[in-house]
Every structure is written in C-alpha cells, then in structure tokens.
Amino acid sequence: VNVDVKLGSNKFHVDEGNPHIILKESADIDEFKKLVLACPAGLYKLMDDGSMRFDYAGCLECGTCRVLCGSTILEKWEYPRGTFGVEFRYG
Ligand code: SF4
C-alpha cells in the first residue's frame, strides 16, 4: 500500500476558521521551498505564479516545519485544540 493510501485512512477534524499553524505575511521563499519538500502531508505548495500556499487542514502534527523553519516562516505553530486535528488509524 502506498503512502497516499495510508495517509488517506487518517481522519481529520478540522477546526474551521481557527488554524493551528499560521504563516508569516512575508515568509521567506527559500525557507518555504524547504517545507514544500519536507512536509509529509504536502501542505506547503508553490504555485505556478510563484505564490506560496499553505493549508493546515491535512496536518499530521509531526512538527517538521516547526523544527526546520520555526520563526523564519511561522507566525504560530500549536497542536490543534481539544478534539481537533488528526486521528491516526493503524493497520
Ligand atoms: Fe506538515 Fe508536519 Fe508541519 Fe503539519 S506539522 S504542516 S504535517 S510538516
């Protein structure tokens, strides 16, 4: 089974309108590119027009982006509150 199928079996409870990760307004593009490659959920995307996109909804809460780029990119990084966030399914 490939990794996309595995990831697809996880369930996400998205805290709509209350992102647990927020990027800085002026995120550094070179730092951002690291995250395009490093985020296991592929949530950091560089668009054809060069703009940076991030969607917190599929976050696996692995902390890679925080460890790699921390305050150079991130305005906020917290675990989702309460019952929100990823629910890992095994097997
Ligand atoms: Fe991606 Fe992990 Fe950062 Fe979530 S915590 S955005 S899955 S790198």
Every domain of the chain and the residues it spans? 3-83
Helices (H), the chain: 3-8, 29-38, 64-69
Q: In residues, how long is the chain?
A: 91
Position 22 scores a pLDDT of 96
CATH topology of domain 3-83: Alpha-Beta Plaits (3.30.70)
Mean pLDDT of successive 10-residue segments in the chain (91 residues)? 75 94 92 96 95 94 96 94 90 66
Residues 6+ away with beta carbon under 8 Å from 30: none
pLDDT given for residue 91 in this prediction: 66
**Chain position carrying tokens 């647990």:** 20
pLDDT, residue 76, reads 96
Residues with CB under 6 Å of ligand 1 are: 21, 39-41, 43, 59-65
pLDDT at res. 5: 74
49 Cα: distance to centroid of ligand 1 (angstroms): 23
Dist. CA 7–CA 22, nearest whole Å: 22
Going from the Cα of 44 to the center of ligand 1, the distance in angstroms, rounded, reads 9
Q: Which two tokens stand for residue 11?
A: 């369930």
Closest approach atom of ligand 1 to CA 42: 1
